[in-house]
Homo-oligomer: A and B are copies of this chain.
């Protein structure tokens, strides 16, 4: 796949993979900012700002933004995480100029006071509703406890109090600081002409400001340790998460970490599947590696009936200890690599998948990785690589968080969660 990249004088990066056989094109602006880049009084501003991008610009009302997406057969799409805020769309090739224009326009929103006040109510309601998703709330609790004083502890949604107190001027200041051109990547994949895209981006984005961007705290983090029990009565299941350190996104160890996580926690045929799911002890079990900027994390989790928590936690601790001591078998490694190859290939079948894939790789490492390179990187993982990863990031050195109706877990009394 041909790949091109360029940087505008103001620092905006444009990257793109073209695929002449594709029938559509996916485009996205990756703003390298998220909850971890917020100060405490700003908590929730990244996500709130993402909403505000759709509330109008000097050139378009909120209604016009929706209408314009609609007219090219697309919809307003965006997401905010701890590290990134992303605005994207996939369209037929003929609408590439139009979608570039709309997306670039909404990245300079008006942030009108009246819209800000109205949207704040929407966000507050979203935070309230979020409490009905115990799985997500459990993860939020877990991250907060694990990361403690590290900025990756920050909540994407923020709290009712922080969002309530947020002012339009704070959002404007955050916007100016974090939505600077040199903190943004425009990524494209599919059927389009890179030079044309570059021309459109130059036209639409050259007026964007440049600022001192980056992140202050990117240290690795091995967690708080210990067992933390948060009791919430109206939840049906107990959610248990065992978090351990992992390689940062820039590390080549990420491939070994990903592979081990799949061998350990895939939804069929994994260690945890045989230990917890096949015998019917737990309702779900999972292991995943999340690459973060500066500090990765390995999360082993399960859900079960509250009464079964202690027994299951004992099993999981035993599994983690065994894996830490003996690693995985050659067969497990082979099976995990087969599964990953299938996922990499299938994940790259659509321009949308590729657009996000190349942007994420570029944002974290400044590298372009095509599907073949990514396949080769996983294929190259050896038993020695997995061993080296475990030695560097012991998976049994966990910070454990239980969230749910259990009043105590393994003798530790719960506090209200």
Instruction: Report which A residues bind B (CB closer than 8 A).
Output: 21-24, 66-67, 69-75, 90-92, 267-269, 335, 338-343, 345-346, 348-351, 371
Contact = CB atoms under 8 A, between A and B. Distances in A.
Contacts of A91: 342
25 contacts: A21-B21, A23-B349, A24-B342, A24-B345, A24-B346, A24-B349, A66-B268, A70-B268, A70-B269, A70-B335, A71-B269, A71-B338, A72-B342, A73-B338, A73-B339, A73-B340, A73-B341, A73-B342, A73-B343, A75-B267, A75-B268, A90-B346, A92-B342, A92-B345, A346-B350
A349 B352 CA distance: 10
Question: Which of A73, A269, A371 counts the most B-chain CB atoms under 10 A from its CB?
Answer: A73
A69 B341 contact: no
Question: Which of A69, A340, A342, A371 counts the most B-chain CB atoms under 10 A from its CB?
Answer: A342
A348 B23 contact: yes
A350 B346 CA distance: 8
Contact of A92 (B267, B335, B341): B341
Contacts of A21: 21
A267 B70 CA distance: 10
A73 to B, nearest CB: 3
A75 B69 CA distance: 36
Closest 5 CB pairs of A and B: A73-B342, A70-B269, A73-B339, A73-B338, A23-B345
Contacts of A341: 73, 92
Contact of A342 (B74, B340, B351): B74
Given A24-B349, A90-B342, A92-B345, 11 more contacts: A21-B21, A22-B349, A24-B345, A70-B269, A71-B338, A74-B342, A90-B346, A91-B342, A92-B341, A346-B350, A349-B350
Contacts of A343: 73
Contacts of A23: 345, 348-349, 371
Contacts of A71: 269, 335, 338
Contacts of A75: 267-268
Contacts of A268: 66, 69-70, 75
A6 to B, nearest CB: 27
A383 to B, nearest CB: 19
Nearest to A267: B75
A67 B335 CA distance: 10
Contacts of A92: 341-342, 345
A98 to B, nearest CB: 11
A306 B63 CA distance: 28
B349 A70 contact: no
A340 B92 CA distance: 11
A341 B90 CA distance: 12
A341 B343 CA distance: 27
A339 B75 CA distance: 10
A254 to B, nearest CB: 20
A134 to B, nearest CB: 15
Contact of A269 (B66, B90, B340, B371): B66
Nearest to A270: B70
